[in-house]
A = this chain, B = another copy of it.
Amino acid sequence: MSNKPIAAVLAIHGGAGTLLRSKTTAAKEAEYLAALERILLAGQAQLSAGAPALDVVVEAVRQLEECELFNAGRGAVYTAAATHELDASVMDGSNLQAGAVAGSSRTRNPVLAARAVLLHSEHLMFTGAAADAFAASHGLEQVAPEWFGTELRLTQLRAAQAGQRGARLDHDVETQSSGPIDDARKLGTVGAVALDAAGHLAAATSTGGMTNKQVGRVGDSPIVGAGCYANDTTVAVSCTGTGEAFMRICAAYDVSAQMAYLGLPLQAAVDSVIQHKLAAVGGSGGLIAVAANGDVSLSFNTEGMYRGYARVGEAPVMAIYGDVS
């Protein structure tokens, strides 16, 4: 390693998945890339001003939740009961403190609820109405459950349910309004990882789950060690994909464990988890990670992942397809 000072860096993702077979429009692609860039630039400015990694990842995920393009917060997918159940987690690599909520349906920004648990509770994880009650008791905005819904997501639910009943999916409806990655088969989550100027790492993950998921299902997003992990001595990680597979292999923590115990560099540890271990249990998806030494990895075993990173002092880099890492 050189003696060059390590620049603070933020990486974000907006879900991984299969590319649409029918063409998406250039305008749609540009819309996704612009959203990623806007959020990266905001985080870069925070890091530049000396903000802690925890604040930066929480704000980046809050903005991803607010953006209807991504499956978290507003624009989250529907459950089989046409409701929303939102999961989120945050972890502070400087002290291994973490907070998580699962099955939230009233708190406007689940990632803020997760941070409130981290900051204000002796507990680490709350589920359902208790998660929202805790968030409300700490002043977080509550909304009607309908607030999270959009016409597009409802159309996707109806299409998924029609598909279950054997009906033909109306792909035209999908592709006209969907993004470059097939929403109907997208493994939707958003997340952020950051290294700040003080050398601290943090990670945050948030999701609406899977379209048409059974009510009460919890995936990897709110699980420390599965969908989210941060430790200043190794790495910060946020995952997206088939959650159950990430849970079975403790994906986020395993990146850290392979770096700590095997001495692997970041990309080798990530490749082991995403290209080998995840595949071995039939999982698909990806993760973003930033190591204590400033290395960044944006990796997936799907056709695409909405992703990007921004180092302080450099132009942000955004991508959707498998062409650049």
Q: Which residues of A contact B (CB under 8 A)?
A: 96-98, 102-103, 121-131, 133-134, 213-219, 223-226, 229, 243-244, 247-250, 253-254, 257-258, 261-262, 281
Contact = CB atoms under 8 A, between A and B. Distances in A.
Contact of A247 (B102, B218, B224, B261): B224
Contact of A127 (B121, B218, B250, B254): B218
A262 B249 CA distance: 18
B128 A247 contact: no
Contacts of A213: 123
B224 A126 contact: no
Given A130-B215, A214-B130, A124 B225 contact: no
A128 B130 CA distance: 11
**A-side binding surface: helix, strand, loop or mixed?**
mixed
A131 B102 CA distance: 14
Contacts of A98: 247-248
A124 B221 CA distance: 13
Given A127-B127, A128-B127, A122 B224 contact: no
Contact of A214 (B126, B128, B226, B249): B126
Nearest to A249: B96
3 nearest A-B pairs in the assembled complex, by CB-CB distance:
A130-B216, A261-B261, A225-B250
A208 B121 CA distance: 19
A292 to B, nearest CB: 18
Contact of A123 (B133, B134, B214, B226): B214
Contacts of A218: 102, 124-127
B126 A248 contact: no
Contacts of A258: 261
Contact of A125 (B122, B225, B247, B261): B247
Nearest to A258: B261
Given A130-B217, A257-B257, 7 more contacts: A96-B249, A103-B127, A124-B219, A125-B218, A127-B216, A130-B216, A224-B248
Nearest to A131: B216
A226 B229 CA distance: 13
Nearest to A216: B130
Contact of A216 (B122, B126, B214, B229): B126
A125 B209 CA distance: 13
